[in-house]
Structure 1
């Protein structure tokens, strides 16, 4: 299923806030005709809003009666009409009034004042009280528990309405048929959130067991390694490790997709937009290991000419996160140390190019070069790779010392 930008005015294909498009079907006929929004709970989860808010909004905007418990709007309304109406809800009740970021919570201030608390820019903006939905929300405010993750940390960033646990448990419409009536029982939603939180914690514990220790094998994305792991997983009946959908399987699926699309030829890789969409589809957008995978798959012996075309994709995925930078560096270490040893002599130039394009920071490179590690390759190869990188690391250290002297 493809996803669309939450703010449809933003046409950037790398826009990180996604949601599933509205899906609807018409039920009944004559005066009893109704429109059912079949994936409303997924859309609501991506927007971090209760489904009842969306149903009531559609009713007010389209001048129709609604049935919250079944996500029904009286009358025949096509999908485009509903999607356009949803844009109005997003603009009025989701997007920050200052930075237009959808990472907001609705807060009831006092008895009848609704505010949007933006987790991105920190601004608190007032919601326009003129819309009829305003009164409904005042009477049925969301319960924003302290410490509760916003939509960015759960649904919309990683796949338009589905968290890792949703996908693993096969949950699409967790609130569908949840018995929500006109007098919204907020506690029912809290219970669903608690159940979801427990599932996330359980899966996190399972994934923790799979985490790669510093002295163990990393994500090997060579064609031979992918095939070998596929054979190992055959005995699991396709259910994944410990009976759940593991991130390891998803990395293999991503690797197999790249091999299939490119014929294992870097020059024929899908474009960066398609690669990004596949990462979102596989729910790997929040995984630092995806940078390690890309470090091994986007480049070959012509890496110095191939870095620039992928700067946009890598910058978007790294997102100024040091762990993501380390993971990318680990992928490059495997690429150069195992796949293309002939590139070892060019490593200073390669690192300088990634540094010059703000993909890997000075601190990360210096720390990486300060000690041998068996995390991504064997100790001997790690030592050889770092030795070849020494001239560039020394240049960074000298530049840093000069900068400190100037400050003094």
Structure 2
């Protein structure tokens, strides 16, 4: 299903590079008169991003609006009786997130609901995986009665052998289905064999014409040339303050050097009038200016700021900048993290193209075989939620299979 738009889980955080994101809630009015109702077509996807059962936010809406609700979980159909404006429900969703998702201590959404029993009393606790704090919810809210009657499903931690090692890596989250392990690549209509053939064929068309030599980097970064380019590219960004030299910036901090770099790149990439090399040099110079040109997180930010749904054409175009900034395994993992966010959160319709994206990066020597193989077999919540991480890795399987077969062929040739 195509994305209806992606927003920060905490909508008070105005930072495009904030790690925790969710689909924008959508609504559809059905029926007439007394039978009118509001269907929430993507409630399952929204709830998955929040690691909560979709019945919880739907019931929360009912409690807040004084309306009846109904669920058809098998068909992912969630309904609130009456006609309700999408913006009103989004505001209520913010309330649900604040009361039942965000850690009361650190405001991080990476929490799990647990029920603590003390005698006859039951309390609902938010167990934060980020700061370790356990904070209670307001037990006076009507939703708590529903949660106690329909407690969160306890995630089994048994090791289940799969092609991508998901279970061993601790795949989980509030909305995981036990059948999810064996599901085929989401949104992919082609078989692995067909896709692998396509990958090999299309890889031949990729080239590294935009590679910049050391001489070009140094020649283009002469003080006068760089000063002129940056002045032209920055445009209205002259007022942006330079970072204070701190090593890292929080995802939540809109003034961190990483957020500044991301915003600068996004606003400047279309203003270089076809001179891609000049733009790439200026972008690197900007990272230097902010003191983060060697940081792996800069690679993550560049991937998020540069790549769009046209990523397959953009990889060879911007490859030289990544070749310059990727200097370690950690940097490669950050690039893969950027791809996770691109296809998992911003453009879910790109999931079937993951093998081609990985092949394009591999052909430009931006990814090493060992790194991408290790990444592909270990689900992580470092860059996205685990459910999204699992989907992206599942989609990468044809490329991982191709790597493995290429390795086997190489071993046979050596014998």
Under a length normalisation based on structure 1, what TM-score does the superposition of the two structures give?
A: 0.46
The structure, 1 or 2, with the larger RCO (C-alpha pairs under 8 Å, 6+ apart) is 2
Bigger-Rg structure (1/2): 1
- From the two aligned structures, give the one with the greater helix fraction: 1
